[in-house]
Amino acid sequence: MQDVFSRGRVRHARLVWQGTGVHKRPPASELRRIYAETETIAVVGASPDETKPAYRIPRYMQSQGYRIIPVNPEHDEILGERSHPSLADIEEPIDLVSVFRPAAEAPAIARDAVSAGAKVLWLQEGVSNDEADRIATEAGLAVVMDRCIGVMHGALGLGPGPGH
C-alpha cells in the first residue's frame, strides 16, 4: 500500500493496474513516467478564479516547471498564458490534456485530445467516463481518471503538492 491524497486527507489506497493496457489508475511507476515525459499540459476548463481547483492545480503544475496551455473560450488569458477556445486551436504539441469539465463532456474532449496528438488524457478528481476511456485508450493514449494531477504529483514525492 502507498499513501495517496484525496480531498486534502491522506488515505491508504492501492493504485490498480488492470492488465497490460493503459488504464484509469496506473501504478505509481507509470504515473512517474507520465510526469517525467510531460512538458506541455493543455488544461480544458482552466479558470481565472483563484478559488477554484481549475486555477490552483494548473498554477501548481506551472510552478513545477510544466508549460500550461489554458483552454477556455470565455477568457483571453489565464495564468499569464493565452487561453484557447478549444484543443483544436492550439498550434503546438500537447503532451497531456488535463480535464476540469463534467464527465458528460469527456468523450468529446477525448476525441479532441486524440486529434491534437496528446499522449495522455487525465480526468481530474471526481471525473470518470468509460466512453472517454475507450476513445483515448483505443487511440493509444494513457488515461488517468478520478485523480488530481497536482495532488498525485505531491503524493508521489515529485513536488510539495498544491496545498503548500
Average the pLDDT over 105-124 and give the result. 98
pLDDT tens, position by position, 32-45: 999 999 999 999 99
Judged by DSSP in three states, 28 sits in helix
Higher model confidence: residue 99 or residue 2? Answer: 99
C-alpha cell at 60: 501548481
Name the E strands within 28-104. 40-44, 67-71, 77-78, 81-82, 96-99
Higher model confidence: residue 18 or residue 122? Answer: 122
**Domains identified in the chain and CATH numbers:** 2-155 (3.40.50.720)
- How many angstroms from the chain centroid is the CA of residue 27? 16
Average the pLDDT over 18-35 and give the result. 74
Which string of DSSP letters, residue by residue, matches 104-164?
GGHHHHHHHHHHHT-SEEEEPTT---HHHHHHHHHTT-EEE-S--HHHHHHHTTSSS-TT-
pLDDT tens, position by position, 122-158: 999 999 999 999 999 999 999 999 999 999 999 999 9
For residue 120, the cross-strand partners are: 96, 142
Residue 89 Cα distances to 22, 93, 96, 127, 158, angstroms: 27, 11, 15, 24, 31
pLDDT of 1 higher than 70: no
